[in-house]
Chain A
């Protein structure tokens, strides 16, 4: 596009000024210094380089759902600018005579072609973006297109500016082509070349200096103020992408409350529990907020947002940025952000399903940040959601969120005439079967627990349960920000588990699976944990479990967030289902695997209702109904309850069934 090989010296002065202003404006980046240090954070070079390449340059997440409007649009803008950046840099070198023998220049046909193609791509992308922001207007995007949250001129202001830059570029290129030689190469600059025919070469030559200078100055202005605008994301989001540790994805940090409580020097009034002040967040959490591109992808997939609950993950992330810039750049006094601008209901609406994190193109870690703010509400303010408070108190008193008696944890088995082998008697077993609170007390899940026993017996497994010694893992408590209760439960369970010898723990509940398997390790509880889908699949594969293929129905599988997105297990439950299908068929719902839509029960939402909007489980169940199946298969205690409820609400008791995969396997024995 625009290039001149005769660079006047004064241009260097402008360039220098632009760079100085750019650097000055970059200081907003330093706002993250307000955040806490994070002693657990270690930069990992290889993953950082991988992230940079795969998620940064290749923008893998932008193209996650292959050809969406937004991804094509971003492809044009992003790669158009990559090309222009490359071309401009090369040209800058060539103009100075640096590395000339290695570089192509504008007289090289492919380079000229590439250059104009880049410009054209960016132009198309920008027009698509303007269309999206003003005609299409998805409701998850910031509605005022000219106001960004902490971004100068909002989205559209910047888009229009870039449009001006691109037009200016093409025009000065046309002028150059008209004024300079009309060589045979010129036609490869296919856009500028055609524009050059609009006027006579005399007109072009009169216009050329104006065009060239205005384009140069507009470009410098753009560089100088880039950090203040949305375009900053090209830099800051790339840095964030490199620095995000994907192994810590969604992992909430332990607070080690019991150690804290033993500390004699601890000052209750001074200590901050959870996050509300900007200083309470880690630098990486603040960097996340600055890196948000306001693309709205997280909000688009959020089950709470999609059922009209007052939550948009993007809004929360950008609220943090807005307050951060307010404090750092404008010296605004920010005492706490929980309450205002981030409301309690917003925070309680999150089911910690992880869809936002799966979707975010710049690898922002929403859940731990949201959990930290919930921690503030519960641990500092004593303000959990009122309905959740009840089940938290019950968990504290009885070791299960339903509040049933500790001493009746195995009543389900006794009532069914099952003699459960107890760890307290056996002391040692190959498999420790972790029944979980739902399996122990919830009538619907007791059926799953019985099916599990049937499977264990049929496969001749040496197993035992903890019985009355088992307690809630503390999953709901932890997601709800009640870290003290979580830790109490965790430490108690670890002490119990460590009394016995076993090779692995199996559990039908992905929440127990996740909590014991991924989180107890922080408290020296290291066990091999398998979800029942994985365990059953192994038994089938090894021939220990012989199944009659009996199912003739159409069936769909609802992915549990804590099995799928949080632990990457999509195959095992599907394989288990396939192994009982005779003439039946497994039909996928529209949203499945990593794109699955939550049942609404995670993150503690099992224990309270957010009044607004539709019920999440109803929306999900409707999706199952739309596939025309007879059976909705689940592999999670909460999903089973939520889907079963929705089945009743939708009045489908007579035509459809919700079954845990263990129940299907037990029937096939």
Chain B
């Protein structure tokens, strides 16, 4: 089985976010980059699928990012057991439209003929959750999103999808398939030093984004980026118990939207 895994480098959750002068991106200097969370689970699932099917096959790690910062996460994915990698190198301004991202991947990967492509459910930075599905459609693969479990059947793939309110759905897909993985379905492994040493000899194929002719035109663009404002506000509620409770429920519903 030949499996492709999309891994994206994103800002770690604790990174301080400041908007840069263009107003459309964040200041990268103060950011600690790390592998997108659900992508780590996708990689682990891919490695486990190969292990479960007796070790035959290949896991190809695919990422698009600037030349200088992605190698760290690619190497980490190879250290964990990925067999080789494809790095599409891009310069700022970065591709933010999921349709464009998917088209570029589709173009770059079409000759690989993957049996299976796994992506994370959504990226922790932009969080639109579409890249995987669009890529699957562009490559003519069967697709499923929000996958919580994967079973290999004879020539088929059976996946468990997460629905709302704790409901799940089992779907059977024919190969080739492209599925997006939800965090938490496995325990991503830690890169061993042996793995890290071995990764140095593994192939990382670099392609310039400009050399890949994406088929689409951007369907969305960033006009402006904002960071959330943290704010402390105090309101003293007075009145009868009923009035206080009513006002509190009102605040919970309308202002902080927790009920």
Contacts and interface: CB of A to CB of B under 8 A. Distances in A.
Interface of A: 257, 260-261, 266, 268, 271, 273, 378-384, 386, 389, 392-393, 397-398, 402-408, 483-484
Contact of A382 (B16, B30, B31, B80): B80
Given A389-B190, A484-B193, A405 B80 contact: no
B34 interface: yes
B32 A483 contact: no
Contacts of A408: 16, 30
B43 to A, nearest CB: 13
A483 B194 CA distance: 12
Contacts of A484: 193, 196
17 contacts: A271-B197, A382-B195, A383-B192, A384-B190, A389-B190, A393-B34, A397-B12, A397-B32, A397-B33, A398-B12, A398-B14, A402-B14, A403-B12, A404-B14, A406-B32, A407-B16, A407-B31
B29 A407 contact: yes
Interface string B192-231: 1111111010000000000000000000000000000000
Interface of B: 12-16, 29-34, 80, 187, 189-198, 200
A261 B190 contact: no
A649 B127 CA distance: 39
A407 B11 CA distance: 13
Contacts of A402: 14
A273 B196 contact: no
A483 B193 contact: yes
B194 A268 contact: yes
Nearest to A263: B197
Nearest to B191: A382
B29 A397 contact: no
A20 B97 CA distance: 85
Contacts of A382: 80, 189-192, 194-195
A273 B193 contact: yes
Nearest to A399: B32
Contacts of B80: 382
A118 to B, nearest CB: 56
A261 B200 contact: yes
Contacts of B200: 261
Contact of B192 (A261, A378, A393): A378
Contacts of B12: 397-398, 403, 405
Nearest to B199: A268
A268 B196 CA distance: 10
B191 A397 contact: no
9 smallest CB-CB distances across A and B, nearest first, come from A382-B192, A379-B193, A407-B30, A389-B190, A398-B32, A268-B198, A382-B190, A484-B193, A404-B14
A41 to B, nearest CB: 24
Most A CB atoms within 10 A — which of B12, B33, B189? B12
Most A CB atoms within 10 A — which of B14, B15, B193? B193
Contacts of A389: 190
B38 to A, nearest CB: 15
Nearest to A392: B190
A400 B200 CA distance: 25
Contacts of A266: 197
Contacts of B197: 260-261, 266, 268, 271
A271 B192 CA distance: 13
Contacts of A268: 194, 197-198
A386 B187 contact: yes
A70 to B, nearest CB: 42
A405 B29 CA distance: 11
A609 B37 CA distance: 23
Most B CB atoms within 10 A — which of A382, A392, A403? A382
A483 B197 CA distance: 13
A72 to B, nearest CB: 49
Given A260-B197, A379-B194, A383-B190, 6 more contacts: A382-B195, A393-B34, A397-B34, A405-B12, A405-B30, A405-B31
Contacts of A379: 192-194
Most B CB atoms within 10 A — which of A380, A405, A484? A405
Given A397-B32, A407-B29, A257 B193 contact: yes
Contact of A380 (B31, B33, B193): B193
A156 B249 CA distance: 73
Contacts of B30: 405, 407-408
A423 B164 CA distance: 53
A268 B198 CA distance: 6
A422 to B, nearest CB: 16
B187 to A, nearest CB: 6
